[in-house]
A = this chain, B = another copy of it.
Amino acid sequence: MKVAIQGELGSFSHAAALRLTPKAQIVPCAASLEVFEAVVKGRAGAAVIPIENSLAGSVTEHFDLLLSQPVCVRREYRLRIAHALIASPGTQFRQVKRVFSHPVALQQCREFFRENPQIRPEPFYDTAGSVKHILQQDLRDAAAIAGVHAASVYGGQVLRRGLEDDKRNFTRFFLLRPAAGTRPLPGADKTSIAFTLKNLPGVLFRALSVFALRDIDLCKIESRPMRGRPWEYVFYVDFRRGADQAMQNALRHLAEISESVKVLGTYPAA
């Protein structure tokens, strides 16, 4: 099966895709929209996207796309994120004056940059892509921050390991499939939904009560601004519950006080 990822080969998405779909043929895409469209238009059978990092928070663009695109969440996976400093073979640490990486990865290595003020962080579009860039250009004053997997994909040299500020650094990935005709996998015990609310007093409290009154516990809540309606929000909520009768009742109840409700997927909890 072809599996679309955002970013280059050697990225953390690549590593997660190999765990979720071990025999996948990886289809790298430049932009997140392209990844979703690959699934929707059938150029790939599935996609693997990062949705949330335990330090940096949500990948907000992916929340927006989950809402707007006809895809559904099939599985989740939690990957431990370890950042390495990777350079061209032969480059020594003291030669490194600038370090390329994705802004989120740079932000996760703040202590490394504080301890090495001679090194300037430079935002780049992708972690693995920054390794590819340095190797292709054979830059001698530069290194990249990425997973060690990227060093082996591009033939880079690992100068340092464990650059991340916090070792308890995980990224949660979703495996996405087209929404149409997909049934939850056996053992699916977690549900993600998105909803927008009518403008009523205490309406978010009422929305959460439809779950609390049925002993359905939420494990995450996230709000995202609605495009074109400043200071109004879409709410994204995860529950440790599959598509059972109580959940169906709660969603019907929620629809009474919502402008819109979308079930993003029911899947086995990681």
Residue A166 CB within 8 A of the other chain: yes
Q: What is the chain B residue whose CB lies nearest that of A229?
A: B168
Residue A60 CB within 8 A of the other chain: yes
Residue A256 CB within 8 A of the other chain: no
A227 CA / B219 CA spacing, docked (Å): 17
Residue A54 CB within 8 A of the other chain: yes
Given contacts A123-B124, A218-B204, contact A61 B224 (CB under 8 A): no
A63 to chain B, nearest CB (A): 9
Binary per-residue interface labels of chain A (56-89) against chain B in the complex, 1 for a CB within 8 Å, 0 otherwise: 1100110000000000000000000000000000
- Is the Cβ of A168 less than 8 Å from the Cβ of B218? no
A40 to chain B, nearest CB (A): 17
Which stretch in A4-12, A181-189, A205-213 binds the other chain? A205-213
Choose one: B211, B224, B228; the contact of A57 (CB below 8 Å): B224
- Is the Cβ of A168 less than 8 Å from the Cβ of B202? no
Residues of B within 8 A of A209 (CB): 205
A212 CA / B200 CA spacing, docked (Å): 12
Binary per-residue interface labels of chain A (212-246) against chain B in the complex, 1 for a CB within 8 Å, 0 otherwise: 10010111111111011111010000000000000
* Chain A interface residues toward B at CB < 8 A: 33, 52-57, 60-61, 103, 107, 110, 123-125, 166, 168-170, 201-202, 204-205, 208-209, 211-212, 215, 217-225, 227-231, 233
The 10 closest A-B pairs by CB, nearest first: A54-B230, A123-B123, A205-B212, A202-B212, A57-B60, A205-B208, A54-B225, A170-B230, A168-B230, A168-B228
A–B complex contacts, Cβ < 8 Å, 23 sampled: A54-B230, A55-B225, A55-B227, A56-B60, A56-B225, A57-B60, A103-B123, A123-B124, A123-B125, A166-B227, A168-B229, A201-B215, A201-B217, A202-B212, A202-B217, A204-B208, A204-B218, A205-B205, A205-B208, A219-B231, A220-B231, A220-B233, A222-B222
User: Apart from A220-B223, A220-B231, what 8 extra A-B contacts exist at CB < 8 Å?
Assistant: A52-B225, A54-B230, A201-B217, A202-B212, A204-B208, A205-B211, A221-B223, A222-B223
